[in-house]
Chain A
Amino acid sequence: MRPSGISRFPLVRSALLVVVVWCAASFIYAPIFSVLRFAFAPGGDIGLGAIGELAGSRRVRTAIVNTFVVTGLSIITVNVIGIFQVAVLEYLKVGGRGFLRFAYSTPLIFVSVAAATGYGFVYGQNGTLTKLLQSVWPALPNDWFTGTLAVVFAHTFLLTSFHFLFLRAAIRRVDYSTVEAARGLGASSMEAFVRVVLPVLLPTIFATTLLVTYKSLGSFAIPSVLGGRRFDMVTELILTLNSLRRPDMAAMLSIGLGLAVILCIAAMQYVERRGSYVGGSKTPVPIERIRIASPVVNLAVHAAAYAIAVIQLVPIALVVLFSFAPARSIATEVLPSSFTLQNYVTVFSQSTAFVPLKNSLLMGASATMAGLMISLFVVNLAHRHTNVGTTSLDLSFMAPWILPVPFIAIGLILTYDEPNLLVANRVLLGGFWILPIGYAVVSIPIMMRFLRAAFFSLDPALNEAAQSLGAPAFYRFLRVTVPLVLPVMILITGMTLNVILSEYSMSAFLFNVNNKPLSIALFEGARSANPEQAAINLVYISLIMAFSLGIITLADRYGLGGGK
């Protein structure tokens, strides 16, 4: 294939290539190098002192134990809830399926720090649900929702999104004739599910379990907001070590977290590869939902299904409801008695309330733009010319996918807390741009995955047809390639912006007075006893959810979200 598009302009292409290589060197390799240097040779001499000091710290040890305990428990609880949800939606005949599907899909829009502050709002000291529970059980202390219990509870109902997306898709591929056969041989619907359906789902369950493990190991916003006194997880400790001016220990701990995550991903890829060998029949009979024979079991399943839906919906409903309530009714009323738009007016008119939203939009937009341009360039290049250079460029930008966010954040801090020749001898730490750079670095791998898929599905015949009609290369790129990839580009722009709006981990490390983002404002608001601040928080959360809902609906329509 002849080079086309921008590649016809060698000067432009070379300039872009230089910029992209510089980006990789400055914002991926230099930070990784800094982390390794500070972890293993903080003062210039190679040593493992940081490991000893980490092991000697009681708080670090507790945080590691907490992280493993939370992750272990979350794996069990998320799987129980997630598999049950999928069975209710796709295997059993349960009334009100549309409602349940809506409730079970909420973890897709209620994420990260927004979800954590939402849970804090309803289950916290003066929360509506705490008050309701206390009316049934007066002995319940105000601060009951804290520590391992709170974090695992939040994980349980917020991390089921992978089951909702992937396990539902997998169960639809189950050959119903095998279920019928098992039932014909006398198995109950429960036995058929455990003996016939589950084994087929097992590779997918394993993959979602690893995703849950990965999320739980790196959980940050949820334990920060809900963990309470004297409860830390590893990510929080990395931030603490950094603020205690122990970059060596912070770097070493982030390497430890990185190793755990890489191990997780390696296992996931191994299973993915094996998973392709598990096939159904060539002409599968579509799965049909089964009526539960026993009325007692049927009742229990319905009760559990609706209980889970209520648990997932009520916090969201309360957040949205109270965002329209006067600030004074927060923490004083169980349900608001009057409604107003005042909180929304405040967020959009009062500068202190609007600034974090503006910052996040501005940083999100610039990070997304930059990320998109880099991804487009790298994917396009790797798609046209497969050689060592393009492959390594491609892999370089994919690297942040396997590194936990605190690792990259610590790397950026250690690289740019003093003048660095890579950025014209400037200090980036403390400035506006370091955070959008961090956002872009972690967004690029996902953008590249989607773009790559889009490029591979391009029909080369279209380009050749345009060429035979005499269209010049740049014209072809604009009129043929771009329109075909454009829907994907628009969608990943929206999805990335959506993630960045409630991004907490990178933000917590790199924000400063010049660029305080929405997620940090949410976090600080969650700690404030001021009802005005709580009201502003609820508006923020509602706006984030509305934005997410829009993006996901759009993605679903274009078939990218995988929800249907």
Chain B
Amino acid sequence: MTRNHLLAGAMTLLSLLGTSAATAEPLVIYSPQGDERAVWIAERADAAGHDVTILTSGGGELFDRILAERANPQADVVLGLIDAAMATLKAEGLFQPYVPNWAEGLPEVYRDDTDRMVYKFWQTPVVIAYNSDMLAEEDAPTSWLELVEDRYAGKYVIGPTIWQTTKTYLIGMLLRFADESGEISDEGWDFMQSLYDNAIVVDSADAKTAAFVNKEAVIDLNWFGGVGRLADDVGYRAVMVDTEGGTPFIAEGIAIMEGTDQLDDAKAFVDWFGSAEFMSAYAARFGQVPVHPDAIAAAPDTVKRNATLLRPQPIDWDVVAPRVDGWIQRIELDIK
């Protein structure tokens, strides 16, 4: 046993040393796409002639990892992190400019005209949904700001702020109290306090599910795909609300790392990944809504319908990104 461990240790050491040797390696892609999705992307990429290795992990974890590795980047391409995370990595100087060949025709909010680094390829709204078996339509909230009312006390769940979804709706709500420079008013922080005091605050996905299973929670603050998944797991019918003031949309972006040693391969991969052909195929396979009009046009009808279901809340992520850490700190340290 011990000898095996020594051997394993020695081999780990060797492989650690080995990483610095330059060889013809596959393109390393960091992505938070879950197992099945990542495998599918890798198979498709392989079929299209791209030699890739996809490293997957939770969005928050991956983001921290890229920051921690900044001095010695392991990734060539980052794909699938959401707006604020991509904006922060860009601000940290970790990306290099590349305008993919599918940038033309992309709506302006999904382009990066100033820095030409991060381009978005699909979007997901973060929504309010309710358990229609437990709550009548006229009793459901019609706006995010109504959640602090007494009638919703203990009826909705706030997840950990490390979750991209939680972060997004908190930012969406705070921004309604922002002045032009992006400062949040005292009223906004009071609102945030009431939002937390009125909520079931959990620290894990299982605790959130439990709150719905126990029928304490009936209002789900979740990303589009997550709403249906939770409702199926727990066994209720979920209805989404097209809220007043709009719904925050998160879009996932792709960018090439500053430190890549395979620039040409990286560019070719980015061009292929965001192409209308692959995007519409992905939409057909997983129901994800792409942002490029050509990709939407080629996508199945349900995806087309979902693309226009909810009104978006306008958010300028380049303004938000540098402030997010401070806001989340204040929420974590003073409000939670």
Interface residues, chain A, with chain B CB atoms under 8 Å away: 56-60, 125, 229-230, 240-241, 243-246, 361-362, 365-366, 417-419, 426-427, 429-433, 512-513, 527-530
Contacts and interface: CB of A to CB of B under 8 A. Distances in A.
B268 interface: no
B210 A432 contact: no
Interface string B271-287: 00000000000000000
Contact of B69 (A58, A430, A530): A430
B207 A58 contact: no
Contact of A427 (B72, B210, B328): B72
Contact of A529 (B5, B69, B206): B206
B132 to A, nearest CB: 24
Given A529-B209, A529-B210, A244 B69 contact: no
B333 interface: yes
Which of B61, B70, B325, B329 gathers the greatest number of chain A CB atoms within 10 Å?
B329
B210 A57 contact: no
A432 B16 contact: yes
A246 B5 contact: no
Given A245-B325, A512-B65, A527-B204, A362 B332 contact: no
Contact of A59 (B2, B209, B334): B334
A469 to B, nearest CB: 34
A427 B71 contact: yes
Contacts of B68: 417, 427, 429-430
Interface residues of B, number: 33
A529 B203 CA distance: 13
B57 interface: yes
B236 to A, nearest CB: 17
A365 B210 contact: no
Interface string B1-28: 0100110110010001000000000000
Given A59-B333, A427-B71, A527-B203, 18 more contacts: A58-B333, A229-B201, A229-B203, A243-B64, A244-B332, A244-B333, A245-B325, A361-B5, A365-B2, A365-B6, A366-B9, A419-B71, A419-B72, A431-B16, A432-B12, A529-B206, A529-B209, A529-B210
Nearest to A63: B333
A430 B64 CA distance: 9
A563 B71 CA distance: 50
B202 interface: yes
B5 A362 contact: yes
A410 to B, nearest CB: 14
Nearest to A240: B332
A58 B336 CA distance: 9
B162 interface: yes
Contact residues of B: prevailing secondary structure: helix
From A240, A243, A430, residue with most partner B Cβ within 10 Å: A430
21 contacts: A59-B334, A60-B333, A125-B210, A240-B332, A241-B333, A246-B329, A362-B9, A365-B6, A365-B9, A418-B70, A419-B71, A419-B72, A427-B69, A427-B71, A430-B68, A430-B69, A431-B16, A513-B65, A527-B207, A528-B206, A529-B206
B60 to A, nearest CB: 9
Contact of B65 (A229, A245, A362, A430): A430
B159 to A, nearest CB: 12
A230 B207 CA distance: 13
B118 to A, nearest CB: 21
Nearest to B55: A513
Nearest to B65: A430
Contacts of B9: 362, 365-366
A-B interface, 5 closest residue pairs, ranked by CB to CB distance from nearest: A57-B333, A529-B206, A527-B204, A430-B68, A419-B71
A513 B57 CA distance: 8
Contacts of A431: 16
A512 B69 CA distance: 13
A365 to B, nearest CB: 5
A242 B8 CA distance: 32
Contacts of B12: 362, 432
A528 B210 CA distance: 10
B7 to A, nearest CB: 10
Contacts of A512: 65
A70 to B, nearest CB: 19
Contacts of A57: 333-334
A63 to B, nearest CB: 10
A257 B296 CA distance: 56
Contacts of A245: 325
B328 A244 contact: yes
Contacts of A60: 333
B336 A59 contact: yes
Interface string B58-77: 00010011001111100000
Contact of A513 (B61, B204, B210): B61
B158 to A, nearest CB: 11
A105 B209 CA distance: 39
Interface string B63-93: 0110011111000000000000000000000
Nearest to B329: A244
A430 B70 CA distance: 11
Contacts of A240: 332
B8 A362 contact: yes
A59 B335 CA distance: 8
B175 to A, nearest CB: 20
Interface in B173-203: 201-203
Interface in B96-119: none
Given A362-B9, A527-B207, A58 B334 contact: yes
Contacts of A529: 206, 209-210
A432 B12 CA distance: 9
A430 B16 CA distance: 13
Interface string B292-336: 000000000000000000000000000000000100110011111
A246 B202 CA distance: 22
A541 to B, nearest CB: 19
Contacts of B206: 527-530
Contacts of B71: 418-419, 427
A365 B69 contact: no
A366 B325 CA distance: 37
A427 B68 CA distance: 8
Contacts of A56: 334
A56 B68 CA distance: 29
A396 to B, nearest CB: 26
B110 to A, nearest CB: 27
Contacts of A241: 333
Contacts of B336: 59, 230
A429 B162 CA distance: 19
Contact of B332 (A59, A426, A527): A59
Nearest to B162: A243
Nearest to B20: A426
